[in-house]
Structure formats: structure tokens, C-alpha cells
Structure 1
Amino acid sequence: MKKVIFMGTPDFAVPVLERLLQEGYQVDLVVTQPDRPRGRKRILTAPPVKTAAEAHDIPVFQPEKIKDNYQEIKDRNPDLIVTAAFGQLLPKGLLEIPAYGCINVHASLLPKLRGGAPIHYAILEGHQKTGITIMYMAEKLDAGDIISQQAIDIADQDDVGSLHDKLAKTGADLLAKTIPDIFSGKAKRIVQKEEAATFAPNIKREQEKIDWKKPQQQVYNHIRGLHPWPVSFTTWQGKILKVYRAERTNRTIDQAPGTIVDITETGIEVAVAANQSLLLTEVQPAGKKKMSAADFYRGVGSNMSAGEILGNE
């Protein structure tokens, strides 16, 4: 029986680990990031992959910096290392340990969208398709040789949450089909075209702010491309207003971008570029919980007036 070590951290990696176990592979160790404080109360919380590993009684290793501490992996002498959204680059010494190499399940069609936020950027940039790439790992970020790929469509209503779930399942399925070829020596090695590479770095706070001067589709993509995390925002009366969901309208309006056109139980209509508008349907005012447009209208909505400008601050 070939020995496998799995390395992953967030929810995306859990179906991949579960599929390895379902396929009967001997997972000797799970490597994940250390427990981190989460939420407003900063409660120390285990990564989802750790929780999954413990449910299967698999030993867990949580190094702060893998490049400085991987003796535990070396001691187990794995035949194959499988990673999925682990969150750290693997050093050369670690990459050279397994006889069958280190492979990564990446949530894009490489060489497009290398980096830590490929699902977000696929929506933010308005892509029609994305997918999963299984690749041999290299010292350079997401630049190793491609073994297999599977494309999926991005629906117009998809957000990061729904696309994440589709890709996690696709990644698990493709891995199950790919590993036998690796162990049998039939796996392909397709060199990535560097000139075609694009990047998807982790989202920064300043990227979360909505630019109402952009076209309707771009603003719509921005909102769903940051939902359910880290969530887009604008400002209203000097305070943060988070925007979770929005819908496009067919109305032609003549207000400047960012202007509140109307407030009703169906949503807050806001002007964008080219005489178009968006209807904000789920928001979170400062100091309040996330709420539907109807709840906003019945509550704090009376403090909002048509003609106000969002995002000026």
C-alpha cells in the first residue's frame, strides 16, 4: 500500500482529503496550518482539515513555517504528497522526499490565475469558465508541470461560495482519476506556458470597496466575487455599509454613479456607469447584523434618502 501525506487547510481541501480516504489510500499524516483566532471574540479555532483528519483518527502536524520544520514528514517516508490550498510554499528539500513527487490540486485552469485567490478572481474578472488543475509542485508558485485538468462553467448567479463548492467536488473527483496514473507511471507532464500566466493574489482590503463608476456587470461581478468572504463594501453617511448581494436592473437612469435612486422593500437601487443601476438586496450597516433589503427598509432604511451618494468618503 502506497503511503500518502495530505497537506491542506480550508474547507476547499476537506472533500479532497475525504476522497483520498474513500479511494482507500493510506493517509499517514495530515499537515495543516496552526489553529488561529477567529471571529470577534478571537476564539482559537482549528482549520477545517484538522477537524476532518481528527474525525478519521489521522495524526495532524501543524508547523508555523513548513520551510523550517518538515522533519516529521521526512520521518514518515511518504510515497506521494498531495496538497490542496495548504497556504505555504513547499521548500525544495520537502519536494524531493516522495518517490512519486508532490502534487497540488489548484482551483483554476493553469497557467491562468496562479495564487491564493483563484476562485475570487475568476468571478471578479468575469470569466465564463474555470476549473481544476492537478500539477506537480515546483519551488515557484503554481508553476509546476500540469498532469490533468477539468473545466467547469461559471454560472451568471455563481458567487465565491457556490463556485468554491463546485470546484472542491471537481478537484476531489479529478484527483481520484489522476493518482492511479501517477503510481503507474502513465501521468503526463505538460510544461506551463509562462507567457500565458495570470495571477490571483490574496484579496486586499482596498480591493473590497465598490467603485460605482464602473459598468453594471463589473460591479455585479465585484459583489458576487467577494461573497460570502471577504465581502464588498461601500460607505454611507461616513460609515461602512457591507454589500452581500445585488441584482442587475433594466432601468435607464440619469443620476451620477453612486447615487441612491430609490429605497424599497425589494432593495436599494444605486446608479452605476452608463445610465444603469444595481439593486442591493442584502446589506449590513455599521453596528448591525447582515439583513435583507426588506429588513433594512423596515429598520434603518428610514434614515436613508434617495439622492444620497454612496462611497464618497
Structure 2
Amino acid sequence: MTQYRETDRLRVVFWGSGLLGRAVLESILKCKVVELVAVVSKPDKPAGRRRKLRACPVKEFATAAGIEMHTPRSPRDEEKHLRRMAPDLGVVADYGSYLPPVVVELPRLGTINVHPSLLPRYRGAAPVQWALANGEKETGISILFVTPEMDAGDIILQERMPIDDDDDAVSLTEKLANQGAEAIVGVLNDFLRGRVTAVPQDHSQATFAPKLSKEHGKIDWRRPAMEIRNRIRGFQPWPGCYCFPEGRDGPLLHVRSARVVPFSGIPGEVVDINRDGPAIAAMGGAVRLLKVQPAGRRVMTGYEYVLGHDVATGDRWE
């Protein structure tokens, strides 16, 4: 266990891009013990069907709040600027890129990260998504020191949170963002008072949450029904879970919401249709498609899709 000495008002450099980062940045701005000396985020990226450049949530917030910020192509590009700022502490939340040691070690007290999982479980880029996809009942926030090994640093604080059955990646990310935003205030105050202690992780218990790709969203009806349903929850809004009702050469269908129902059949077979939507057979049950989104169209109920696409029991989906 390591203890860190008391300091004056904290000069903080913040790194972030996503919704968790935005929530943490908002909280830092309200924290009276902090002097925010730099905000570093990501360059605008193409998004949507028209691939227009779009700012990330942190940049949107910072711009609206009139905060000067930096969006380097590489974190290394910020080294000279940060040396001039002479920060006491770096805070990372949902930045989305590896920070090299030369940047991490530059602040006098080091750099800390707000990570949305109970480390050492779910180290990596997509902890919220994989916790849901794996059917976890609990998650939380870890605040830890940044080290060269990903999400492996000593833990300053952890707070737990139950995962509700109706949570998906969107709702759970919002909850964890709020939890992280509240937690960072206490940690910053502890740094100011020299009360921070950090405990090493048990690396033998580490699990990983790799970055998602489009291939992760392909539904395999041969898998357990509950596993499919959990992946549908976890992989919203991207990559989303999808299937091919008209065969692999036909248009894909994204599944936005589903539940498991007690029907059996050949994997991929439409085994029941009611006003909630079609039920597709999987291992150990069937998956009722409650909300779906055909390629290039709006989200609709599963039953609306049935009515518009001549779906019948006995059809085979891929």
C-alpha cells in the first residue's frame, strides 16, 4: 500500500472523449480543489450514414463551455505543452487511446484513470459491453493509477453497482458515468489532503474486454438463447447484433431489444409469432425480437417487422 503526500490546489490535465469522460470533466470543473490546466480529447471523426465529421462528447461539452482544448493526432504531441503547464495530476476518463509513459509520468503525482469495471475484471476498451454480454449481475467504477500495462495499475477506489435486467450498454454507461463523476471528487480531495492510498491488483484474476468489431454483432442461433439476448443488450448501439432473415445474401436486420422465451426448434427457425414479435429458436430456448431495425430504416417493433415482411413460423433465419 502506497501513500501520497499532501499538496496545494491541484493543477490537473484531463484526457477524455466519450460520455464517461464528459461526465467526469463536468464534475472536475465544479471541484473547488482543482485548477484545470489542460483538456485533451480526440479529433473529430466521420459518423453516421453520410460520414460527416462529428465531435466527441468531451469536445462538444468543452466547446459549449468555452474551455480551451487540444485534439492531437497522437498523445505524444502534447508533451511540450504539458511540460509548460506543470500539472500535479493527470486524470483520464474514456480517452480511448494508449498514453505513452512520457505523458503519464509527466504530472508530479502521476496519472489516474476512471475505468468502468471492477478491476482486475474487464480490463480493456469495452468493459461495459462485455460485462452485459457475459451476463454479469454487478459492475462498478475503479479509479487507478495509469501504468504501461493496460488497466493494471494500483487501485485507489472502487464502487459497486448492480446491473438491472433491463440495462443495455447505453443505459449502463450513463449510470457508470454518473457514478464515476461523483467518485472522482472524493479522490481529488484526498490527493489535496495527502490521504490517497493505492492497493495493487491481483493480476491472476484479470479478465479482458477487447475492442468490439462488427463481427462481434453477428448472431449465431446455435448459441444459448440467454447468451444471444445478453449480447443484444451489450452491443448497443454499436456494433449492434444482427441477423439475416432472408438468408446471408439478403439484407441484414439489427436486433435492438429481445427477451428469452420457452420455445424449442431448429436453431434459426421462427417458432412463434405474437404481437410482441417473432421468436427465433436457439439453444435452450428462443429469442423474442421486441425491437428491430432493418438496414437503412427506423427502429420498429418486432411485430411491425413481421407485418411488413411476410414472416411466418417455420422460416429459417441466419
Corresponding residue of 2:22: 14
Shift of 1:81: 1.0
- 8 A Cα contact 1:74 1:94, kept in partner: no
- 8 A Cα contact 1:28 1:58, kept in partner: no
* Deviation per residue, 1:34-74 (Å, 9 max, x gap): 11111111111111101111222221101111134432222
> What is the SS of the residue equivalent to 1:239?
coil
Correspondence 1:101 to 2:110: yes
Correspondence 1:189 to 2:198: yes
> What is the SS of the residue equivalent to 1:218?
helix
- One-letter code of the match for 2:269? T
* Deviation per residue, 1:143-181 (Å, 9 max, x gap): 111100001111111110111011001111111111111
Corresponding residue of 2:176: 167
Corresponding residue of 1:213: 222
Shift of 1:272: 1.2
Q: 258, 275, 279: which one pairs with 1:246?
A: 258
- 8 A Cα contact 1:216 1:248, kept in partner: yes
Shift of 1:15: 0.9
Identity of aligned residues (%): 37
Shift of 1:263: 3.1
Instruction: Output the CA distance in 1 between the equivalents of 2:78 and 2:36.
Output: 20
Corresponding residue of 1:271: 281
Shift of 1:265: 3.0
- One-letter code of the match for 2:282? V
The unaligned stretches of length 5 or more in structure 1 are none
Deviates more, 1:114-123 or 1:92-101: 92-101
Shift of 1:97: 1.4
Instruction: Output the CA distance in 2 between the equivalents of 1:203 and 1:142.
Output: 17
Correspondence 1:158 to 2:167: yes
**Over 4 Å off, 4+ runs:** none
- 8 A Cα contact 2:94 2:115, kept in partner: yes
Q: 299, 305, 311: which one pairs with 2:312?
A: 305
> What is the SS of the residue equivalent to 1:122?
helix
* Deviation per residue, 1:163-218 (Å, 9 max, x gap): 10110011111111111112222211111111111100111222111121122211
Q: TM-score, normalised by structure 2?
A: 0.92
Deviates more, 1:222-231 or 1:113-122: 222-231
Instruction: Output the CA distance in 2 between the equivalents of 1:49 and 1:187.
Output: 27
Instruction: Output the CA distance in 2 between the equivalents of 1:2 and 1:185.
Output: 11
Corresponding residue of 1:75: 84
Instruction: Output the CA distance in 1 between the equivalents of 2:307 and 2:113.
Output: 49
> What is the SS of the residue equivalent to 1:70?
helix
- One-letter code of the match for 1:273? M
- One-letter code of the match for 1:265? R
- 8 A Cα contact 1:208 1:230, kept in partner: yes
Shift of 1:30: 0.9
Correspondence 1:235 to 2:244: yes
> What is the SS of the residue equivalent to 1:262?
strand
- One-letter code of the match for 1:16? V
Q: How many pairs does the alignment contain?
A: 306
- 8 A Cα contact 1:178 1:187, kept in partner: yes
Instruction: Output the CA distance in 2 between the equivalents of 1:5 and 1:252.
Output: 54
- 8 A Cα contact 1:110 1:192, kept in partner: yes
Deviates more, 1:17-26 or 1:162-171: 17-26
Q: 46, 65, 74: which one pairs with 1:65?
A: 74
Instruction: Output the CA distance in 2 between the equivalents of 1:20 and 1:286.
Output: 40
- 8 A Cα contact 1:270 1:277, kept in partner: yes
- One-letter code of the match for 2:53? L
Correspondence 1:259 to 2:269: yes
- 8 A Cα contact 1:27 1:58, kept in partner: no
Shift of 1:247: 1.6
Q: TM-score, normalised by structure 1?
A: 0.94
